[in-house]
Structure 1
Amino acid sequence: MTSCFSYRYACVRCAAPQSWGAIRYRCHLCGQNLRIQRKVNGEVPSARDIVSTFRGRGMWRYRALLPVESRWGSRLVVGGTPLIDCGDDGGVNLWVKDEARNPSGSLKDRATEVVLAVAKRAGCTHAVAASTGNAGASLACIAASQGMSATVVVPTSTPFVKLAQIRAYGAKVCEIDGTYDDAFEIAERMADDAGVCCRNTGINPFTREGKKTCAFEMAEAFDWCVPDWVVVPTGDGNILSGIAAGFLDLYALGITSAVPRLLAAQADSSNSITRDWQDDDEDTALPQSPTVVSPETVADSLSVSRPRDHFAALHALRVTRGACVALDDARILAASQTLARRFGLWFEPSTAAGYAALHECLATGRIQAGSRVVLLGTGTGLKAPQDFDSVAPGHLQDYAEAVPRGIPEERRHCRGEGQT
């Protein structure tokens, strides 16, 4: 089945095709990010034939739809994470895709697994990435399994727990007195050598290919009948564009008959994509450069001043008829406690932003009662333990009473230590 497909690069903005072979990062005409374009060689395979190839566990189950052979993958099991049925929540049927079960504790492992498989095939011996924590931990983890050295460039504000995790896997940590965007540019320059792979989110097109597999798993869990909405915590925009690409792939191949709507969740101070989406007009071209913001948020995974997959993220929202919501830190932290105490799911604040965004859209009527909704749980709460108890009790009480309407009254007022 793999031989039925061939691949090439194409620009996400100008659509200019670019030759396959060496790892490429940017369009040679306009400088925008690239995407991987699949072409069918010969007779188009049926949806049934493609699905029949889905065997094994983890994300390599979908090897027929990935642009690199599974033999180049790591020894770790990435993907195959559970979809947890949380029942009725505020009138919607809620499921949570628990990506905290990946080897380094976050969804970023899906991207890294494909990126380093491609790097291994290309003969790279070193990998580098800019990160606020999760991507760096993921790179360090999977590079160790691949026997590849790695360097992670991080701002000094990166949480200690995430730095400890990166160092535990043996990667070199380069801390800079600057922002994530500064780290991004430094890491990109480090990858000038052909033997070095740059894993930077957005500019490495294979990050999107890895994240597609999360959409494949969600669709398969619903027996190829997709949910109404998928809630995606959004910083750089690469998870958003990757999830959209996965669902669009399945639709184009005839495996599914619909594409879910995507809800992008951002932090108030890191709301570049939200602002540009609100200013978007469907009759005009998408903005070519992002609005630059000054992030200061507890959701460090979403803390980006200039989203690096901006254009592809806005395109993902447009083609899925999506929406974008930004939340303040108080609501994000309160949502984190609600997820943990109601469902037994402790995620880092970025996921909580998604949960708060869901209930914001329920309150405004954007998401209707009875909808089937999947919340993407992007990373474990163990990556941000310092944030869990920082929410003020008053905020938690207000949020618990206003948002999780499905909690029985007798439970809603039990807020003593260990009581819910």
Structure 2
Amino acid sequence: MTPAFSYRYACVRCAAPQPWGEIRYRCLECGQNLRIQRQVDADSPSAADIVSTFHGRGLWRYGALLPVEARWASRLAVGGTPLVDCGDGGGVRLWVKDEARNPSGSIKDRATDVVLAFARRAGCRHSVTASTGNAGASLACIAASHGMSATVVVPASTPFAKLAQIRAYGAKVCEVDGSYDGAFDIAERMADDARVCCRNTGINPFTREGKKTCAFEIAEALDWRVPDWVIVPTGDGNMLSGIAAGFLDLHALGITSAVPRLLAAQADSSNSITRDWRACDDAMALPESPTLVSPDTVADSLSVGRPRDHFAALHALRATRGACVALSDARIMAASRDLAQHFGLWFEPSTAVGYAALGECLATGRIQPRSRVVLIGTGSGLKSLPRFDSAAPGHLRDSANAVPRRMPGEPGYEQSEAQP
């Protein structure tokens, strides 16, 4: 399908337009991230005409609202994930968007599928990304389906299950001492060649375009009547900015009549966006650079010291009248057990951050009883096995049939922990 609109790049901060065509990562004027701007004019299709083009399954169902043709997409079934109706979830009408159903097991596949579609169109032969696990597994998976080589730069603390998944797809893994933020800078330098696509979250504007489609699916599943709140687990801020962009697009095009409020859910030690949001007085006060933090959390997918889509994330909160909550690891793991045992939904700890945030906001009155709420289920619990095992009751951990506290390849693993 040919895109129904024309596009250009624009800076998320200064709004300076940038030429369309090749992949671009940063504003030529101020160095901030870019967004992809849809050009609407008198000849643009109507809301009804756009909706009439939504055919098939998966994220490419919304090809009319994407800036690259579906013919460049992977052969994998990305998107089209279920919106699970959880009924009365703690006093609200709760749905969970189960993104663990994507090919590599996380929402990251939406971003990667659109990123690599445009990369193929632009003639790229190799792709690289920094990751704490999920983005790397996603890139490795979808690059393999394209026959494209990939390199994933990860901190040494990346969970074993995620490293195993990346390697299984054939990507090259580059482990670095230090944090995700250091890995991010290394991956960006690896993409100096125009034939190499950098998938890094935030600086590649097509990551936001892919994540928009999650908002499209939520709205369509609810017959274009958007929920009151959407809870978005937040680390780098790119999922938050992408989900917001999706709902704002639908509203601007007249497909929906409202925009839901977004709740950014963070871990206590990885709460840069929460801190900066609380410090903002008005729209002009959005800081240009993030507060730096030192993350140490079980929610490894959200373990970010310097959010790379920081400005766009704060703007998303402004545009949706949103809020931020940061939770302790103890509350995150308790929420994870509740999700699994009450609804049969076992997600990685980053999703549980969102469920814990729902409880917090109900207790404080920020979210009112009987509100319609959607929680983004970011990825499978199978990706974080040691995290769950270390939080399990002692009699389960110490039983003869227990999973080792650390898996081979995890920092601190010792042979004595292996099963006999």
Amino acid at match of 1:374: V
Alignment of 1:334-353 (within 5 A): 334-353=334-353
Correspondence for 2:135: 135
Q: What is the percent sequence identity of the aligned residues?
A: 82
Match in the other structure for 2:356: 356
Match of 1:268 in 2: 268
Instruction: Tell me by how many angstroms 1:37 deviates.
Output: 0.2
CA distance in 1, matches of 2:115, 2:159: 24
The answer on whether the counterparts of 1:4 and 1:40 sit within 8 Å (CA) in structure 2 is no
Q: Which runs of 5+ in 2 are unaligned?
A: 395-420
Who is 1:65 aligned against?
65
Contact 1:111 1:208 in 2 (8 A): yes
1:169 and 1:85, CA in 2 relative to 1: closer, same or farther beyond 3 A?
same
Identify the residue that residue 9 of structure 1 maps to in structure 2.
9
Structure 1 residues 72 and 370, CA, compared in 2 at 3 Å: closer, same or farther? same
Deviation, 1:91, is 1.0
- SS of structure 2 residue aligned to 1:284: helix
Shift of 1:4: 3.9
1:33-84 superposed Cα distances (whole Å, 9 cap, x missing partner): 0000001354232111100000001000000000000000000000000000
1:162-204: CA deviations, max 9, x gaps? 0000000000000001110000000000000011000000000
User: Matches of 1:115 and 1:43 in 2, distance apart?
Assistant: 28
Asked if 2 retains the 8 angstrom alpha-carbon contact of 1:235 and 1:266, the reply is yes
Q: Please name the residue that 2:228 is paired with.
A: 228
- The CA distance in 2 between the partners of 1:241 and 1:163, in whole Å, is 27
SS in 2 for 1:366: coil
Matched residue type, 1:248: L
- For the residue of structure 1 that corresponds to 2:32, the secondary structure is coil
1:72-87 aligned within 5 A: 72-87=72-87
Q: Distance in 2 between matches of 1:391 and 1:273?
A: 27
- For 1:154, what is the secondary structure of its paired residue? strand
- Between the aligned partners of 2:217 and 2:359, the Cα distance in structure 1 is 24
Letter matched to residue 50 of structure 2: I
Matched residues in 2 for 1:286 and 1:24: separation? 24
Post-superposition offset of 1:389: 3.5
Q: TM-score, normalised by structure 2?
A: 0.92
Q: 136-145 vs 85-94, which deviates more?
A: 85-94
CA-based RMSD of the aligned residues comes to 1.2
Partner of 1:162: 162
1:323 partnered with 2:323 = yes
Are positions 1:18 and 2:38 aligned together? no
Write the distance in 2 (CA, Å) between the matches of 1:11 and 1:181.
22
Separation in 2 of the partners of 1:195 and 1:47?
37
**Aligned residue in 2 for 1:302:** 302
Give the equivalent residue in structure 2 for 1:96.
Answer: 96
Structure 2 letter corresponding to 1:96: V
Q: 1:179 to 1:359 in 2, by over 3 A?
A: same
1:109 paired to 2:106: no
The answer to whether structure 1 residue 252 and structure 2 residue 244 are counterparts is no
Q: Is the 8 A contact 2:231 2:373 kept in 1?
A: yes
Which SS does the other structure have where 1:13 is aligned?
Answer: coil
Give yes or no for the alignment of 1:211 onto 2:211: yes
SS in 2 for 1:388: helix
Contact 2:5 2:44 in 1 (8 A): no
Give the secondary structure class of the aligned counterpart of 1:306. coil
Runs of at least 5 residues in structure 1 that lack an aligned partner in the other structure: 395-420
The amino acid that maps onto 2:55 is R
Correspondence for 2:332: 332
Residue by residue, what CA displacement relative to the aligned partner does 1:70-122 show, whole Å, maximum 9, x if unpaired? Answer: 00000000000000000001210000000000000000000000000000000
The CA distance in 2 between the partners of 1:125 and 1:392, in whole Å, is: 44
